[in-house]
Structure 1
Amino acid sequence: MFALPAPRRARPRTGFAARLLCGLVLAFSSLPALARTEGAAEYQLDPVHTRVMFAVEHAGFSRALGTVSGSTGTLVFDEADWTHARLEATVPMARVDLGDAKWNEATLARSLLDAEEHPTARFVSTRVEPVDARRATVYGTLTLRGVSREVKLDVTLNAVKRHPMPPFRRTAGFSATTRISRADFGITAWKSVIGDDVELRIEAEATYGGKADREETATGNEDIPPATPEPTP
């Protein structure tokens, strides 16, 4: 009987395996370094100090003024590089206030904002074009009453610094303006009384509660006032 030759074992491709392992190690080890060099921090919108003001023509007599408080959301921001900033904000429509309970109820009704069916408006930024160190044009998608449209915000950075009141968190403050057409969002009722052009002004504060801020607070500072409660806005 002739013995069959033993099957040949495949030789490990040590050169290829080594190169692959080395490439994976380099790729993954570079990720933390990229995160550190970006310099962007994540902030949370302060619903108490973030407010949307709107102005719309009232039968040609005046421009009715209203506000919406209580917005929430996340801002990723690096003061030195606006181009990578990102914002996602949610606005509770039930907080619309025109200074009169019946007027508020009419505004939230199905024929206008339809707040029962669409309780929130939402803005998600898509790109940021810096103008200078303190100003930028922010483009994004506004979803209102179930309709999404691109809007452009003219944004001014007011300050980025540690808040002087407890808990002394680093805070970024912004002002922004834009104009929208209510018809673009399907809000077409009462054309003879309510104008189509809506002016929006946003005042926003966003706080960062990261480790650096807690460490700064722990070290103490003569410029920090006594730990008294923040006054009610």
Structure 2
Amino acid sequence: MLETRFLHPIQTAGLVAALALPTALAAEPATYDLDPEHAVAAFTVMHAGYAKVLGRFSDIEGEFTFDPETREVSNVSARIGAASVDTGQAARDEHVRSADFLDAEANPDITFTATDATALSETSGTLAGELTIRGVTQPVELSVTLNQVADYPCCHEKETVGISASTMIKRSDFGSTYALPVFVGDDVDIILEFEAIKRD
């Protein structure tokens, strides 16, 4: 998987408070793995101007290092299996996997590599990085919301991070120009919802 390092900016007051804490009380950065049972990577795209088609991927994996105290993030990596696309119709799924769209046979992995982050508040910000689809890499910026960091209330009971993120891309930027400009839209809205579990 692709990997990068970056620091999540924090407000000056928060930084001062963190530095003032005794070392023994400071939270230690830890690695979090995406929980595949609670991870959504989905998209919508306009069909012939009538309505948007919703699709999602079932093959998702990723990890990152996160410090809940300082909101510092590093070692971010994410991968989606292009062939796992599901739009609710088998024939359409096969077409989306073809060279007209994802070209999944030649380029089986969709990857994202983060390069920078900007905090807008304690729970929201933007994440810039490089998205690779069909073997083409383009810069993107995600709007990110940190929903919760807490011990899971059941099952594994491990510390879990919950995140929502979204962005919009143009598929033509990644070499998919089939049925443009009318039959299949160029703008693709990306929706990410996931839980990530603290690694032992």
With normalisation by structure 1, the TM-score equals 0.71
Q: Which amino acid is 1:54 matched to?
A: F
Classify the secondary structure of the residue corresponding to 1:48.
Answer: strand
User: Are 1:93 and 2:82 counterparts?
Assistant: yes
Residue 130 of structure 1 corresponds to which residue in structure 2? 119
Post-superposition CA distance 1:79-98 (Å, at most 9, x none): 23235444210011111111
How far did 1:76 drift?
Answer: 1.0
1:68-147 equivalence runs, <5 A: 68-147=57-136
Residue 200 of structure 1 corresponds to which residue in structure 2? 190
Q: Which amino acid is 1:181 matched to?
A: K
- RMSD, aligned CA: 1.7
Q: Which amino acid is 2:149 matched to?
A: V
User: Are 1:62 and 2:23 counterparts?
Assistant: no
Q: Which amino acid is 1:57 matched to?
A: M
1:18-37 equivalence runs, <5 A: none
Post-superposition CA distance 1:121-149 (Å, at most 9, x none): 00011111111110111011111110011
Instruction: Report if aligned partners of 1:176, 1:203 keep a CA contact under 8 Å in 2.
Output: yes
Q: Percent identity?
A: 36
Q: Which amino acid is 1:125 matched to?
A: A
Q: Which amino acid is 2:184 matched to?
A: I
Post-superposition CA distance 1:100-129 (Å, at most 9, x none): 000101110122111011111000111111
Query: How far apart, CA to CA, are the structure 2 residues paired with 1:163 and 1:71?
Result: 21
More RCO (CA 8 Å, sep 6+): 2
Query: How far apart, CA to CA, are the structure 2 residues paired with 1:86 and 1:198?
Result: 27
Instruction: Report if aligned partners of 2:30, 2:199 keep a CA contact under 8 Å in 1.
Output: no
Query: How far apart, CA to CA, are the structure 2 residues paired with 1:52 and 1:67?
Result: 6
How far did 1:39 drift?
Answer: 3.0
Query: How far apart, CA to CA, are the structure 1 residues paired with 2:72 and 2:152?
Result: 25
Could you say if the C-alpha distance between residues 164 and 38 of structure 1 is closer, same or farther in structure 2, counting changes exceeding 3 Å? closer
Q: Which amino acid is 2:86 matched to?
A: D
Instruction: Report if aligned partners of 1:82, 1:128 keep a CA contact under 8 Å in 2.
Output: no
Query: How far apart, CA to CA, are the structure 2 residues paired with 1:188 and 1:81?
Result: 43
Instruction: Report if aligned partners of 1:42, 1:74 keep a CA contact under 8 Å in 2.
Output: yes
Query: Which structure 1 residue ranges, 5 or more long, are not aligned?
Result: 1-33, 211-233
Query: How far apart, CA to CA, are the structure 2 residues paired with 1:40 and 1:138?
Result: 19
Post-superposition CA distance 1:2-47 (Å, at most 9, x none): xxxxxxxxxxxxxxxxxxxxxxxxxxxxxxxx9x967321111112
Query: How far apart, CA to CA, are the structure 1 residues paired with 2:61 and 2:103?
Result: 20
Q: Which moved more, 1:194-203 or 1:82-91?
A: 82-91
Instruction: Report if aligned partners of 1:89, 1:122 keep a CA contact under 8 Å in 2.
Output: yes
Which protein has the larger Cα radius of gyration, Structure 1 or Structure 2?
Answer: 1
Instruction: Report if aligned partners of 1:51, 1:70 keep a CA contact under 8 Å in 2.
Output: no
